[in-house]
């Protein structure tokens, strides 16, 4: 069987993402990642390419953001020999939490993480499916940073470059997205 190059794998994944016009509101071209999870080929290719840059980084925890970060986050954690930590909306985590408020298009929102989920010895990969304006991931980054971990990496499946969400993060933070789209 012929091995595909990274570029061929990324092109395959890009073609697998589904466009949904006018969702959730007219004028939005929604990038649906769910077809990436539908077949063994697409899911295994996605997993392999997502992890290419992280296998030798000493990742001890993968943090996934509710809800699509819960799909690939545990898979990535398992493949990296790391633990998985969820970041959730308020009222979903049962133990003591840290909370971060952030702005969205139509108001404010909040996310939470268990206070005992990370330590100063952890090297953390924060994962979500999409980087748009960056508000949710920046809030997640602030929650993880508050816990004084050793190192933070940030990773997405898709980035909408025109929305410039990457600009929220300090230059010393590695922010990576597999597939870039313009809006």
Q: Is 68 marked active-site?
A: yes
46-85 per-position pLDDT tens digit: 999 999 999 999 999 999 999 999 999 999 999 999 999 9
Q: Is 14 marked active-site?
A: no
pLDDT of the residue at 148: 98
Please tell me the total count of domains within the chain: 1
- Angstrom distances, CA of residue 150 to CA of 32, 118, 159: 33, 10, 26
pLDDT of the residue at 107: 82
Here the tokens at position 122 are 């952890």
Whole-model pTM: value is 0.95
CATH number of the domain within which 154 lies: 3.40.50.2020
**Domain membership flag for residue 132:** yes
128-180 per-position pLDDT tens digit: 999 999 999 999 999 999 999 999 999 999 999 999 999 999 999 999 999 99
**Domain membership flag for residue 18:** no
From the candidates 8, 99, 101, 146, give the one annotated as an active-site residue: 101
From the candidates 14, 68, 110, 166, give the one annotated as an active-site residue: 68
Does 1 have pLDDT greater than 70?
no
**Domain membership flag for residue 86:** yes
DSSP 149: -
Domain that holds residue 100: 56-181
């Amino acid at each position: 069987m012929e091995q595909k190059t990274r570029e061929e794998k990324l092109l395959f994944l890009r073609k697998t993402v589904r466009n949904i016009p006018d969702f959730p509101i007219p004028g939005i071209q929604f990038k649906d990642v769910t077809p990436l999870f539908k077949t063994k080929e697409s899911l295994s290719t996605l997993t392999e390419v997502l992890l290419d840059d992280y296998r030798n980084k000493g990742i001890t925890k993968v943090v996934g953001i509710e809800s699509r970060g819960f799909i690939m986050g545990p898979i990535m954690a398992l493949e990296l020999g790391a633990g998985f930590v969820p970041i959730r909306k308020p009222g979903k985590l049962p133990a003591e939490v840290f909370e971060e408020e952030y702005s969205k298009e139509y108001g404010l929102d909040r996310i939470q993480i268990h206070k005992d989920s990370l330590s100063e010895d952890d090297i953390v990969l924060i994962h979500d499916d999409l980087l748009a304006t960056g508000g949710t991931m920046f809030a997640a980054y602030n929650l993880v940073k508050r816990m004084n971990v050793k190192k933070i990496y940030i990773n997405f499946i898709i980035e909408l470059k025109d929305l410039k969400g990457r600009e929220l993060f300090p230059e010393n933070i590695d922010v990576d997205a597999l597939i870039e789209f313009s809006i």
